A and B are shown apart, each in its own frame.
Chain A
């Protein structure tokens, strides 16, 4: 598949290339639910003292992905509902949990390959590995048909991939070797932005020695960093086996787990956006109190989003700490005033996908983004902008009409499953239709229906075999 659609929104408020370390706070709030995980199986009890890297909870639906304690501290289960609160923190690593006895046991039982996968899962590196097409966590014991390692991230206001890469190039290449050792002969594709810079040349130099790494150059256009888009570009089919997608952070975590047998407890996230006082990249433990980040970095009257501005989810006040799978916190200012005759203004400072504003004559956009919808909900006029912008090559306007008619079969036939949920269609739609939201909901519905159908089929099969046995 050729790259198509896509759109780079150029707005102010992107974080730079530097990473700042953050001091340990007094208390950590580890959310039990995050965008992709639900740590419902608790492993720690109220009042228990835990050490660095101890398992606090597990996600039973996701191959028992653990929620690790980022520091030493005392568990409090009652302070904040939906969170594990850690108090009396210290990051003295001497107290840290050692796996040695257990590891030997596992080694004997499962061999060295099994040991590696065990380590990846229990040292918190596995949560960085995603199934390219579905975004789910793959089975840690499986082998994929290929692995895609992405070195960049393009969604507005998220931390760029190269921030970590620059600091940890050696660990990164070592991590790639570890990754390769998990595979038999399957290739690793390294997705790399199509740019010319000294740094890019240096990485290419590094990679040249590895025959099993294939370099894929990708144009710097959102959302071509999506694993699904890259796999479709390479021609890897979903039907022929699983494809793992790992980003730089994941490769570094894998290196940490397999080289040092240490858990990966810190995340590098961006705190940025047009509503941020300053845009920075931070390295901090999961569960870092959000109120602190909001006070320190967010402007008044701005909303905080977990993730980028296009696909993220709203961080309500119920969520008290940085979630496990957080990639960045984006602040967007609330729209306060209402512009008089806004639609009639020449719009020198507006950036628009269409060329309906005079700003299309200049290349500089001083516009400060807000969370306003900037228009009223209207029926689709088939303007075709959504289809133009869609990177997946599907027809969002048609899907919208079919969803409106509740025709699920047709929705599937029009390949809603190819939607990568990039949010561009909703962004550009002049009728302000919540296209991506509808698609997300529809995909959920379809998934559920399939599950029900599968369960019923299984039941019937069981009945049949039972009657046959009689």
Chain B
């Protein structure tokens, strides 16, 4: 490793001010600091810092997503891999290009966006659409606002919304019947060529005909859906890991899931014919995935704990409203988007209450 460090030290002057390749300094810096812990030292108090940095922070989310990736490989086959690669490459390129233009260091946010984005797409989405959606999401959802930390929306959701609105037909015909047995579809590559795998039915669509078995939905067996959202078990594994590391805030998750289930349960009580039971909705579609991995994105959710409760309840209620009373069968994406829009307003409200309390001190 010492050799590698020496190499870095040797070539780093080229990227400094006035060097030949100064323009791509952000890229070089990112690679160097990826390999070796940055050498910066504390110049003012406190003279020592917590070992957690943003790389580690984002890595935790990726680890939390891994069970879902594994599940999607099992259910939907090898096609998952190129989808993830394409998403990372386009997202990364947009990020790097903008960092170079802005002369700012490359932020690690796209590491998470690049992985979440394919996981919320239908399994047979064409690769060019993955690329287009990811680029759009990162560009409009993040870079336009000034990069990571300043974005109003979750970039992955922006990308997915764009695809749904721009290519509704392709999106709704890209569902795949998940594999089963020991190997699942692990050895298959689903594409439009082996069309028999393609179906148009997700549980939420099929709900019109009759409800799926809930235990199947919990495990993800025989249930179609977006790559990452089918197996509630795997989402729980990764999601609880994320809560334990304190990277995702439990308040958001609990309030979304709780309010959605309770609201739906009330509806079910009122009219069991028309509305499904509360627990059923918990396992259907993207509710759980969204609650654990997308709504908890700290940047686009309110920054205060009280705000997170309100934000979660808002999302939970909107999901159920959209699912039951609108033309869309899946509401999580729009619910989070609306939540993102409301986040700054919620924050303002919480701030004003807090400041009033602080005034007396």
8 A Cβ contacts from A373-406 to B: 373-385, 387, 393-395, 397-398
Identify which of A314, A357, A375, A378 contacts B149 (C-beta below 8 A): A378
B358 lies within 8 A of A428 (CB): no
Flag if A371 contacts B54 (CB, 8 Å).
no
B35 at the interface (CB under 8 A from A): yes
Is B334 part of the contact surface with A, judged by Cβ < 8 Å? no
CA distance A200 to B3 in the complex (A): 57
B270 at the interface (CB under 8 A from A): no
Known contacts A354-B246, A375-B53, A384-B303; A338/B37 CB under 8 A: yes
A185 to B: closest C-beta gap in Å: 25
* Stretch in A144-152, A160-168, A342-350 with 4+ CB within 8 Å of B: A342-350
- List of A residues within 8 angstroms of B109 by Cβ: 381
Please determine whether B45 and A436 come into contact, CB atoms closer than 8 angstroms: yes
Check B53 against A376 for contact (C-beta < 8 Å): yes
Report whether B245 and A354 are in contact in the complex, using a CB–CB cutoff of 8 Å: yes
Task: With CB as the reference atom, state the residue of chain B lying closest to A394.
Answer: B358
| Shortest Cβ distance from residue A400 to the other chain B in the assembled complex, whole angstroms | 11
Contacts of A232 in B (CB 8 A): 361
In the complex, what residues of B have CB within 8 A of residue A339's CB? 36-37
Complex: how many Å from CA A370 to CA B301?
34
Give the distance to chain A from B144, nearest Cβ to Cβ, in Å: 15
Which B residue sits closest to A11, measured CB to CB?
B48
Return A303 CB to nearest CB of chain B, in Å. 7
A407 contacts the other chain (CB 8 A): no
Q: Which residues of B contact A462 (CB under 8 A)?
A: none
Q: Does B93 contact A (CB under 8 A)?
A: no
> Could you tell me if A430 and B299 are in contact, using CB atoms closer than 8 angstroms?
no
Known contacts: A374-B37, A378-B107, A379-B148. The answer to whether A430 contacts B47 by CB under 8 A is no
> B36 contacts which of A342, A367, A373 (Cβ < 8 Å)?
A342
The interface residues of chain A lying within 8 Å CB-to-CB of B33 are 376
B351 to chain A, nearest CB (A): 7
B residues 241-268 touching A (CB-CB < 8 Å):
244-247, 249
Mark contacts of B30-53 with chain A using CB atoms, 8 A cut-off: 1 yes-contact digit, 0 otherwise.
000111111111111111111111
Query: Beyond A354-B246, A354-B247, A415-B358, is A426–B59 a contact (Cβ under 8 Å)?
Result: no
Within 8 A of A (CB), among B1-50: 1, 4-5, 33-50
| Chain B residues, CB < 8 A from A106 | none
A431 in contact (CB, < 8 A): yes
How far is B56's CA from A434's CA once the two chains are assembled, in angstroms?
19
Give the docked Cα–Cα distance between A303 and B41 (Å): 11
Contact partner of A356 among B5, B52, B301, CB < 8 A?
B52
A289 at the interface (CB under 8 A from B): no
Contact of B53 with A430 in the complex, beta carbons under 8 Å:
yes
Q: Does chain B have a CB within 8 A of A214?
A: no
Query: A-facing mask of B302-314, CB < 8 A → 1, else 0?
Result: 0111000000000
**Inter-chain contacts of A434 with B (CB < 8 A):** 44
A422-470 interface (Cβ within 8 A of B): 423, 426-432, 434, 436-437
Partner of A372, one of B49, B54, B247: B49
CB <8 Å contact, A431 and B54: yes
- B305 touching A384 by the CB < 8 A rule? yes
- Residues of the B chain whose Cβ atoms lie less than 8 Å from the Cβ of A413: 355
Does any Cβ of A come within 8 Å of B167's Cβ? no
Interface of chain B residues 147 through 184 with chain A (CB within 8 A) = 147-150
Q: Nearest-CB distance from B218 to chain A (Å)? A: 27
Question: A356-B247, A375-B54, A381-B298 known; A427 and B48 CB under 8 Å?
Answer: yes
Contacting pair A432 B351 (CB below 8 A): no
Contact in complex: A437, B59 (CB < 8 Å): no
Closest approach, in angstroms, between the C-beta of A430 and any C-beta of chain B?
5
Across the interface, name the chain B residue whose C-beta is closest to A357.
Answer: B51
> Assuming A237-B361, A343-B53, A415-B355, is B37 touching A371 (CB within 8 A)?
no
Tell me the interface secondary structure of chain B in the complex. Answer: loop
Does A309 make an interface contact (CB < 8 A)? yes
Find residues 23-70 in chain A having any chain B CB closer than 8 Å to their own CB. Answer: none
Q: Is A207 an interface residue (CB 8 A)?
A: no
Known: A382-B299, A382-B303, A395-B303. A305 touches B54 (CB 8 A): no
Asked if A369 CB lies within 8 Å of chain B CBs, one says yes
B149 touches A381 (CB 8 A): yes
- Residues on B with beta carbons closer than 8 Å to the beta carbon of A305: 45, 47
Contact yes or no, A381 B37, CB < 8 A: no
Does B57 count as interface, using CB distance less than 8 angstroms? Answer: yes
Q: Are B44 and A342 in contact (CB under 8 A)?
A: no
Pairwise interchain contact B305-A309, C-beta atoms closer than 8 A? no
Is there contact, CB below 8 Å, between A356 and B37? no
Whether, in the assembled complex, B269 has its beta carbon less than 8 Å from a beta carbon of chain A, the answer is: no
| Contact A374–B51 (Cβ < 8 Å) | yes
**Interface assignment of A334: CB less than 8 Å from any CB of chain B:** yes
> Is A132 interfacial (CB 8 A cutoff)?
no
Closest to B53 in A: A375
Query: B39, A376: Cβ atoms under 8 Å?
Result: no
For residue A283, CB closer than 8 A to chain B, the reply is no
Residues in B whose Cβ lies below 8 Å from that of A341:
34-36
For residue A313, which residues in chain B have a CB less than 8 angstroms away from its CB? Answer: 45
The 8 A CB mask of B100-122 against A (1 = contact, 0 = none) is 00000101110000000000000
Tell me whether B216 is interfacial, beta carbon within 8 Å: no
Interface assignment of A3: CB less than 8 Å from any CB of chain B: no
Tell me which residues across on chain B come within 8 A of A350, comparing CB atoms. Answer: 51
Answer yes or no: B60 CB below 8 A from chain A CBs. Answer: yes
Closest to B243 in A: A355
Contact flags A298-329 to B (C-beta < 8 A → 1, else 0): 00000101010111111000000000000000
The distance in angstroms between the C-alpha atoms of A397 and B150, with both chains bound, is 13
Shortest CB-to-CB span from A248 to chain B, Å, is 24
Is there a chain B Cβ closer than 8 Å to A335's Cβ?
yes
Would A381 and B57 be within 8 Å (CB), given that A374-B37, A414-B355 are in contact?
yes
Query: Can you give 12 A-B contacts (C-beta < 8 A)?
Result: A309-B46, A338-B5, A341-B36, A355-B244, A356-B52, A373-B49, A376-B38, A395-B303, A395-B304, A415-B361, A426-B46, A432-B49
- When A and B form their complex, which 10 residue pairs have the shortest distance between CB atoms, in order from nearest? A375-B53, A379-B149, A342-B37, A338-B36, A343-B55, A423-B46, A339-B37, A310-B46, A373-B40, A382-B303
Residue ranges of A at the interface with B (Cβ–Cβ < 8 Å): 1, 232, 237, 303, 305, 307, 309-314, 330, 332, 334-335, 338-344, 347, 350-357, 367, 369-385, 387, 393-395, 397-398, 413-415, 418, 423, 426-432, 434, 436-437
Known pairs A338-B36, A381-B109, A387-B303; list 14 more (Cβ under 8 Å). Answer: A307-B45, A310-B46, A338-B38, A356-B247, A357-B56, A375-B54, A376-B33, A376-B105, A379-B149, A382-B149, A385-B246, A395-B303, A414-B355, A437-B45
